[in-house]
Amino acid sequence: MRILITSDLHANLEAVHSLPSDYDQLWVLGDIVNYGPNPGEVIDFVREHASLVVRGNHDDAIGYDRNPQCSALYSRLAEETGRFTTAVVSDEQREYLRGLPLIAGRDVVGIRFLLCHATPGDPLHEYRPAHSDLWARDAGQKFCDVLLAGHTHIPFCRTVGARLVANPGSVGQSKQGGGRACYAIWEDGHLRLESTGYPIEETVTKLRNLPVSPEVQDELETVLRTGALPVVEGQGPI
């Protein structure tokens, strides 16, 4: 069984199309939409190809017209691109986002997987770094062999007790920057973190044509090219 594990696609169609196609199953750990220029097309891709999907904070925000609770650095980006996303996705696509589960489980050849966007205790919003001791608590509370989460856009894979905890990173807004789409592959009982290039200039051109402020266009491009926005004193990291 070869499983392609992805997260944080963020409406970046070029990045999504760069992903491997030789898989048995595609799993998506949320944040299909927002920030990127092609939310409807990426929703349709996920609906057509993914066998297991959980809801991210941006999916929740668009589906239910709620605040995604981003950090101060990204709140303006989320607000302006959120208005664009809401305007272009269909009612049916919003209904699909609303219907996504917060947590999902799957048994694959005797291996028990648990999927969430952020953390099992706070599936939508908690920002937890790879080194946090709290992963041991969550891995113990939920009966699984492998815990998969996204949200931070930072890939990692670590053993916590008898369990594996992993984050595939972001497909559409990677913190590696430079036009890299990050993902993970589960195959033959092992998980690998990988990335691939995509035509970032095509995505940037689309961003420049979005109906958002020039400042937000600049910041969206900066995030794609460098992986982050400069930290402003007093605001802290994302």
- The pLDDT of residue 232: 55
Tell me the C-alpha distance between 29 and 204, whole Å: 24
| Total-model pTM | 0.95
Residue 238's pLDDT band, with cuts at 50, 70 and 90, is very low
- Answer for the pair 45, 36: CB distance below 8 angstroms, yes or no: no
Q: Considering only CA atoms, which of 12, 15, 10, 89 is closest in space to residue 56?
A: 10
Fold classification of 2-226 is Purple Acid Phosphatase; chain A, domain 2 (3.60.21)
DSSP run (H or E) holding 185 = strand 180-187
Mean pLDDT check: name the lowest of 60-64, 132-136, 153-157, 227-231: 227-231
Mean pLDDT, the chain, rounded, equals 94
Q: How confident is the model at residue 141 (pLDDT cuts 50, 70, 90)?
A: low
> What DSSP element (H or E) covers 183?
strand 180-187
Residue 155 has pLDDT above 80, yes or no: yes
Closest listed residue to residue 175, CA positions, set 97, 65, 80, 73: 73
Sorted by where each begins, the domain ranges of the chain are: 2-226
59: exposed, middle or buried (C-beta count within 10 Å: 0-12, 13-18, 19+)?
buried
CA distance linking residue 159 with residue 26, whole number of Å: 23
The whole-number pLDDT of residue 38 equals 98
Q: Can you give the pLDDT at residue 235?
A: 44
CB 29 within 8 A of CB 150: yes
**pLDDT > 70: what percent of the chain?**
95
pLDDT digits (tens, 9 = 90+) for 62-98: 999 999 999 999 999 999 999 999 999 999 999 999 9
Contact 114, 147 (CB under 8 A): yes
Taking only the tens place, the pLDDT of each residue in 162-189 is 899 999 999 999 998 889 999 999 999 9
Determine the pLDDT at residue 234: 45
User: Residue 199 pLDDT > 50, yes or no?
Assistant: yes
Asked if residue 149 has pLDDT above 50, the reply is yes
Binned at pLDDT 50, 70 and 90, residue 31 comes out as: very high
CA distance 226 to 150: 19
